[in-house]
Amino acid sequence: MRFDIISVLPELLESPLNHSIMKRAKDKGLLEVYLHQLRDYATGKHKQVDDYQFGGGAGMVMKPEPIAACIEQLMSERNYDEIIYTSPDGQCLDQQLCNRLSMKQNVIILCGHYKGIDERIRQKYITMEISIGDYVLSGGELAAAVLVDSIGRLIPGVLNDETSALFDSFQDDLLAPPVYTRPAEWEGMKVPDVLLSGHEKMIDDWRHDQSMERTKARRPDLWERFQNGV
């Protein structure tokens, strides 16, 4: 899968996307991430990428021309399945959306800044707007990093044990059960006997019960969805 990320601050993305699982995915050739400095597509002496908003009001708006030039350049090189704009106005990212996006081949992510992008870019190019939560970030870069990480790890072969993503929290609308490692007793607290029993069916049932209890207690919204099977 290939991501092309357009940003005025691509440096913000370098570290999160070049370590751990993301680095391994790239090294294995399963994930490609290209960062594009929007300013490189701006014309004029000052390489201006933002301007005052028509109608007045505080805050600058990202100009349409450099964004269009960058997107057009990319679209002339390959077809894109989605052109995503990271914005608090967007559809909220969840595991189902990550699953769906992990099946795409080529995706552009445009990172917003300032007051946002000129509306005409949204109309002409953006196929999907995604928010990573109901709060406002100072720019879309961290949201883009969250997108690439949460989607990239779902690409088959990226995780060592391929089944492990299937058991993540949210994959079946339930939170993950508690996990333990050695020692079997620590600070007077014991690992539940069932996990030491070696009895696979009992362990699976215990984990499922724990997942349900945890979801019911912590995330009534997910619990409702799980019970309704939607």
Torsion of CA 179, 182, 183, 184, to 10 degrees: 50
Give me the helix-helix angle, 20-27 and 141-152, nearest 10°: 60
Residues 6+ apart with CB under 8 A from 171: 95, 165
Q: How many residues bind ligand ADE (CB under 6 A)?
A: 12
Stretch 136-175 residues interacting with ligand ADE (CB under 6 A): 136-137, 140, 143
Other CB atoms closer than 10 Å to residue 106's CB: what's the count?
A: 18
Stretch 81-110 residues interacting with ligand ADE (CB under 6 A): 86-88
- Nearest-approach distance from CB 61 to ligand ADE, in angstroms: 14
Whichever of 87 and 215 has its CB closer to ligand ADE, that residue is 87
- Nearest-approach distance from CB 16 to ligand ADE, in angstroms: 15
- Nearest-approach distance from CB 97 to ligand ADE, in angstroms: 13
Whichever of 92 and 202 has its CB closer to ligand ADE, that residue is 92
- Nearest-approach distance from CB 63 to ligand ADE, in angstroms: 18
| φ/ψ bin of 222: left (φ > 0), alpha (ψ from -120 to 50), beta (otherwise) | alpha
Whichever of 118 and 226 has its CB closer to ligand ADE, that residue is 118
Stretch 105-134 residues interacting with ligand ADE (CB under 6 A): 112, 131-133
- Residue with smallest beta-carbon separation from ligand ADE: 143
What are the E-state strand segments in the chain?
Answer: 2-7, 32-37, 50-52, 60-62, 82-92, 106-111, 128-131, 185-186, 189-190
Residues 6+ apart with CB under 8 A from 225: 173
The one-character DSSP state at 127 is: S
Whichever of 54 and 135 has its CB closer to ligand ADE, that residue is 135
**Binding positions for ligand ADE, rule: CB under 6 A:** 86-88, 112, 131-133, 135-137, 140, 143
